[in-house]
Amino acid sequence: VRCTPIAGVILTGGEVDSIAGLLSLRERQAFMLLAHACVHAALDANPIFEVVSRELVPRIRMVLDVPVALTLPDGAPAGLSVTAFGVPGKLPLYAEAGSSDPSALVPDGETVGLCITDGIRRLLFVPGCAAITAALRERVQGADCLMFDGTLWRDDEMLRAGLGERTGRRMGHVSVSGSSGVIESFRDTAIGTRILVHLNNSNPLLLADSDERRIAEAEGWIVAHDGMMVRL
Amino acid sequence: VRCTPIAGVILTGGEVDSIAGLLSLRERQAFMLLAHACVHAALDANPIFEVVSRELVPRIRMVLDVPVALTLPDGAPAGLSVTAFGVPGKLPLYAEAGSSDPSALVPDGETVGLCITDGIRRLLFVPGCAAITAALRERVQGADCLMFDGTLWRDDEMLRAGLGERTGRRMGHVSVSGSSGVIESFRDTAIGTRILVHLNNSNPLLLADSDERRIAEAEGWIVAHDGMMVRL
């Protein structure tokens, strides 16, 4: 009666914007909850998430670089597999108090990207990433679709807007523009469809008539929007 | 830039529907956070709430039956005081695992009602209450407005609707109807305006043309709605 069409949830990090939505899925609906052990540990450390019944919502550990076959709610195979891979990232903001160096990048697992495939086509989903490494570019090479971290256009965007004291780098997000940014870093990588996701509300890319939007689109990037559908 | 008009938050319990909204107030906005020590302990036990800066959002302890003077964001007195009082209640669902008898009523403080007054008029806000005692009726007597727990019309409403296995009693909510329900219990109590709040989506009172709505209105109760304004 209270079900949603959601058959599973895959968490790519432990930050509030990734995990708090789980609290809205507490009406005793069965689904799969997939995450790396680092993120499960963040859930385990917060008893409020016990409101999502472990009995109905098994907490399944993903191991980096090991594919998991996705199933439909009735247990039938979905014909898709998902593989988590580590990307440079940060501790969740709320967990910084226990860290001696909260600005340091943390081991693989705290932040992951996902590769979703039916064995033929391949979509990569990387909503948070602190740096684009050669290994990441290599993994992305030849993907039919890349959905990538578009949090900020420039690193000091929030400071300039008076929205806080934190740079993108400090928050664990590479910027879209700039010499080590998303556009530059993937310019020579073969990718089918390039989509920016996870945009912060300070990002001028959100404005359809901004210079930044024109630049990104000229470079072959699409800005994600609610209700977007992608066919590969 | 990202402020809301919210100058303060007063928590009446530690259940998810009371506290999870705090996570949406994490954009470094200053406000007062008032709650009983029991509810502060629930927040303290969940590191995710550290995302709401303790520096900008002081966590202020309310002591039962001791008025707190409310202030405006600039520190000026608001001309109102709020007093928390204990009402029969339950442990939050997510905290039941640590309890030997999760169906037991728990000590005053886990669930509180609020009395808000300018020294002349008096509004009582009791969104969760497991039983209406003589002491509670006495406290309500003569209030200019009572906003009271209207979660369920009848105790077995969720079972009958196939929404779960829990009665209202098991969830810590007295029902609106019935011999020990809200309507009966307050029938002979002098109250200015009687408003039902915190309705579950199974409650037929939500339907403007239901028999239950007609019964409640004939008894002098109003069903709260979004954007409702009350003048005393």
Report the pLDDT value the prediction gives residue B213, as an integer from 0 to 100. Answer: 98
Per-residue DSSP letters for B105-154? -B-TTSSEEEEEESSS-EEEEES--S---HHHHHHHTTEEEEEEE-S-SS
Residues of A in contact with B1 (CB under 8 A): 161-163
CB contact B232 to A (< 8 Å): no
- How many Cβ atoms are within 10 Å of B165's Cβ, its own excluded? 8
Q: Across all residues in chain B, what is the average pLDDT?
A: 94
Q: Which of A45, A46, A51 sits opposite B93 (nearest CB)?
A: A51
Residues A22 and A27: their CA atoms lie apart, in Å, by 11
Residues of B in contact with A42 (CB under 8 A): 48
Per-residue DSSP letters for B201-216? TT-GGGSTTSHHHHHH
Residues A202 and A149: their CA atoms lie apart, in Å, by 14
Report the pLDDT value the prediction gives residue B91, as an integer from 0 to 100. Answer: 87
CB contact B46 to A (< 8 Å): yes
Under 8 Å between Cβ of A103 and A71: no
Residues B52 and B67: their CA atoms lie apart, in Å, by 25
Report the pLDDT value the prediction gives residue B157, as an integer from 0 to 100. Answer: 93
Residues A172 and A177: their CA atoms lie apart, in Å, by 15
CB contact A28 to B (< 8 Å): yes
Is residue B61 exposed (0-12), middle (13-18) or buried (19+ Cβ within 10 Å)? Answer: middle
Select the residue from B2, B3, B48 to test the A interface by mutation, using most A Cβ atoms within 10 A: B48
Parts of chain A with a pLDDT under 50: none
Minimum CA–CA partner of A51 in chain B: B94
Contact B95 A161 (CB under 8 A): no
Q: Which of A131, A128, A89 is nearest to A108 (CA)?
A: A89
Percent of chain B exceeding pLDDT 70 equals 99
pLDDT digits (tens, 9 = 90+) for B92-147: 889 887 788 888 888 788 999 999 999 999 999 999 999 999 999 999 999 999 99
Residues paired with A89 in a beta bridge: A106
Report the pLDDT value the prediction gives residue B162, as an integer from 0 to 100. Answer: 86
Report the pLDDT value the prediction gives residue A1, as an integer from 0 to 100. Answer: 66
Q: Which of B19, B93, B163 sits opposite A1 (nearest CB)?
A: B163
Residues of A in contact with B26 (CB under 8 A): 16
Minimum CA–CA partner of A43 in chain B: B48
Contact B47 A47 (CB under 8 A): no
Residue B3 above 80 pLDDT? no
The H or E element spanning position A16 is: helix A16-19
Under 8 Å between Cβ of A110 and A48: no
Give me the mean pLDDT over the B60-73 stretch. 94
Give the single-character DSSP code of B93: G
Per-residue DSSP letters for B20-54? GGGGG--SS---EEEEEHHHHHHHHT-GGGGGS-T
CB contact A99 to B (< 8 Å): no
Select the residue from A48, A52, A57, A93 to test the B interface by mutation, using most B Cβ atoms within 10 A: A48
Alpha-carbon gap: A17 to the closest alpha carbon of chain B (Å): 9
Residues A27 and A23: their CA atoms lie apart, in Å, by 9
pLDDT digits (tens, 9 = 90+) for B8-18: 999 999 999 99
Amino acid in the structure at residue A188: D
The separation between CA A125 and the C-alpha centre of its own chain, rounded to angstroms, equals 6
Per-residue DSSP letters for B175-230? -SSSTTSHHHHTTTS-EEEEEEES--TT-GGGSTTSHHHHHHHHTTEEE--TT---
Instruction: Read off the pLDDT band of B24 (50, 70, 90).
Output: very high
Give me the mean pLDDT over the B166-192 stretch. 95
CB contact B161 to A (< 8 Å): yes
> CB under 8 Å to A146, separation ≥6 — which residues?
A123, A124, A126, A140, A186, A191, A192, A193, A194, A195
Alpha-carbon gap: A121 to the closest alpha carbon of chain B (Å): 37
pLDDT digits (tens, 9 = 90+) for A56-105: 999 999 999 999 999 887 889 999 999 999 999 988 888 887 788 888 88
Residues paired with B145 in a beta bridge: B123, B193
Percent of chain B exceeding pLDDT 90 equals 78
Under 8 Å between Cβ of B88 and B130: yes
Report the pLDDT value the prediction gives residue A106, as an integer from 0 to 100. Answer: 83
Report the pLDDT value the prediction gives residue B169, as an integer from 0 to 100. Answer: 87
Minimum CA–CA partner of A50 in chain B: B94
Least reliable range by pLDDT among B85-89, B107-111, B227-231: B107-111
Residues B11 and B6: their CA atoms lie apart, in Å, by 14
Under 8 Å between Cβ of B43 and B59: yes
Alpha-carbon gap: B45 to the closest alpha carbon of chain A (Å): 7
Report the pLDDT value the prediction gives residue B108, as an integer from 0 to 100. Answer: 81
Instruction: Read off the pLDDT band of B1 (50, 70, 90).
Output: low
Report the pLDDT value the prediction gives residue A163, as an integer from 0 to 100. Answer: 84
> CB under 8 Å to B102, separation ≥6 — which residues?
B90, B91, B96
